[in-house]
Amino acid sequence: MPVPGIPILEGKYPSTMDLYPLEAKEFNRVHQFYENLRQKRFTTTKCKKCGHVPFPPRVVCPECNSEDLEWVDLPTRGKVLRFTEEVAGVPLGFDSPLIHALIDLGDGRKFVSRIINCKEGELKEGDEVQLAVFDVPPMIIEKKGVMTEAERVFFAFEPSKAEVK
């Protein structure tokens, strides 16, 4: 049942309640990660000076302190090592079943990600999953009193539809 809420906040965008990152370049120096996601690329920053490739992406190399970084691609497919399916008690903003998996990306990284487009009981250990990019609600940015909408995408993984030959 709808309730009055907080009348003075009606029609406002409370960013402190936003589930997704403030991705727009006005608020985020790694906004290129999300631009790349839009192109179905899963990327991070590589240090041009020492070669370090951390994830998540950085604005300064945590190994050598250099700011000379470039965007590089990470694997977009991985293998499920462990997974978990939450059916009841899923938080607002997510659908049941909320599935998470520990994925071996094959580059030495093990990534814990949400698995979407997958029914309860469908996933198995050893399954291959692939990057899935989807639209999420825009963030609102006020510029000289005018409200603009900054479109956003986010990512999860999904069961691979076809093996790569």
Partner 1 sequence: MPERNVCIIAGGMSKWGVREASIIDMAQEAAKECFDDIPALKRKDIDGLLFASSYCGRRSFQVNIAPVVAERIGIKPTSMCTRVDTLCAGGSSGIILATGLIKSGIADVVMIAGGEKLYTPQRWETYYSELASIDHDWDGAQGMGLPPPYFSMTAQEHMKRYGTTKEQLWAVSVKNRRNGSTNPKGHFQKAVTIEEVMASRVIVPPLSLYDCCPITDGCAAVILTYAEKARELTDRPLVYIRGSAQAALHSMSINWPGEHLADWLHMRTAAKRAYEMGRVGPEDIDVAMTHDCFTISEIVEMEELGFCKKGEGGPFVESGQSDFGGKVPVNTDGGLLSCGHPFGATGIRQAREILQQLQGRAIRQVEGAEIGLTHNLSGLNVEHTILIYGREP
Which residues bind to partner 1, rule: CB under 8 A? 16-17, 19-21, 55-56, 82-86, 88-94, 98, 100, 102, 109-114, 154, 156
* Residue reference for tokens 């071996």: 104
H-helix or E-strand spanning residue 50: none
- The nearer residue to partner 1, 129 or 156, going by C-beta atoms, is 156
**Binding residue count for Zn ion, defined by CB under 5 A:** 8
* The residue to which tokens 């698995």 are assigned: 115
DSSP summary character for residue 10 = T
Using alpha carbons only, give the angle 88, 94, 100 rounded to the nearest 5 degrees. 75
Out of Zn ion, partner 1, none, what residue 13 binds, judged by CB under 5 to 8 A for its kind, is none
User: Residue 66 touches which of partner 1, Zn ion, none (CB < 5 to 8 A by kind)?
Assistant: Zn ion
First vs last C-alpha separation in the chain: 52
Query: Choosing among partner 1, Zn ion, none, which partner's interface includes residue 92 (Cβ < 5 to 8 Å by kind)?
Result: partner 1
Interacting partner of 64 out of Zn ion, partner 1, none (Cβ under 5 to 8 A depending on kind):
Zn ion
Binding residues among 30-69 for Zn ion as defined by CB under 5 A: 47, 49-50, 52, 61, 63-64, 66
For residues 117 to 136, the per-residue mask of contacts with Zn ion, x marking binding by CB under 5 A and - elsewhere, is: --------------------
Cα–Cα distance measured from residue 129 to residue 161, given in angstroms and rounded to the nearest whole number: 8
Give dist(CA 8, CA 101) in Å, integer. 41
